[in-house]
Chain A
Amino acid sequence: MKAMKTIRTLLMPLAILAGAALVEAQGIGSRLPQVELEGYAQTKADSFEDFQGRAVLLEFFAYW
């Protein structure tokens, strides 16, 4: 598991560099699935439906 984590850490910068080239990647044009998130903080929203009609920039962070 630790080795996997090290490999992923080394690959991360590559993934980030590839990020710009992935602008055309899969998913663009697809509809959002049902979004089930919890514990909304720093907002008055308490469900994803509260963002209906807004453009939402999802920032994924801190996985592994």
Chain B
Amino acid sequence: MHLNELQEKFGSKGLSILAVTDEGESDTVKWIQNKGAQYAYAYDKGGKLARHFNIQGIPDAVLIDATGTVAWRGHPGALDEKTLEAALAGALPKPLYEWSPAAKGVKSAFQKRAYKSAIELAEKLPESEGGAEIAKALRTLVSSRVENLKAAYGRGDFLGARGAATELAKDLVGLPELAEATRVLGDLAANKDAAEVIKGQEKVAKIRGSGISKRKEIEAAVESLQKLVKEHSGTIVEKEANDLIRQLRERQM
């Protein structure tokens, strides 16, 4: 499905398409017009974001879910609806910049991730300003984040669960869902196996973030990663390390 159609169909379900380039403004405007793209676009000056995602061939797409986590990446034409719909779970049907001006306080609280405040303020807004709708969207987003947290812990992504639980422990203050985040943090603290897995995940993340490109550096990194696969076999570390090995080998091409 063409991206215009994707934006049209899934916009009200929480999807925002954002085309990103490091080309200059005049080239970009020309390309956008030629393509007939109707969705948002912006400039990645110096290619910083592309480097972060190690964009190798173009076009390339990265799908970020409503909780700010990378859900999928690949050729834009290869994105299937099932993957997309999973990423849309909990997403705001209306983006912040389309909320009524009367919801300014809600927006501010939301961006500060003070969800309790945001929900309370939204519930005080009159029906005509879409208050109930916004409150519902916020509650759905909160549930979705909690579900994602539980799923991460369930599949053994203890590093991801720790990060998410730590954030939620701040963001959900005053809300009943806070107990879920606190519980996961408690479980993690008590789980010695999880502590070992987290150590392995952190080592993989460190190699991933090191931005190496020279052949010798890549070979050394692959060797370290293979060691991690052995040390932590049967855990998520094995999968993450193998994924990174595959990716580093592609970088050598």
Which A residues are closer than 8 A to B by beta carbons?
11-12, 14-16, 18-20, 22-33, 35-46, 49-64
Contact = CB atoms under 8 A, between A and B. Distances in A.
Contacts of B74: 19-20, 22-23
Given A52-B110, A58-B63, A62-B28, 15 more contacts: A25-B243, A32-B68, A41-B29, A42-B32, A42-B38, A42-B39, A57-B3, A57-B61, A57-B76, A59-B3, A59-B18, A60-B53, A60-B55, A60-B58, A61-B21
Interface stretch (B90-98, B120-128, B187-195): B90-98
User: What range describes how many residues of B lie at the interface?
Assistant: 35 or more
Given A37-B43, A42-B41, A55-B63, A61 B15 contact: no
A20 B78 contact: yes
Contacts of B43: 37-39
Contacts of A53: 14, 66, 91-92, 95-96, 110, 137, 141
Contact of A60 (B27, B61, B66, B137): B61
B20 A60 contact: yes
Nearest to A19: B75
A53 B115 CA distance: 12
B114 interface: no
A12 B56 CA distance: 8
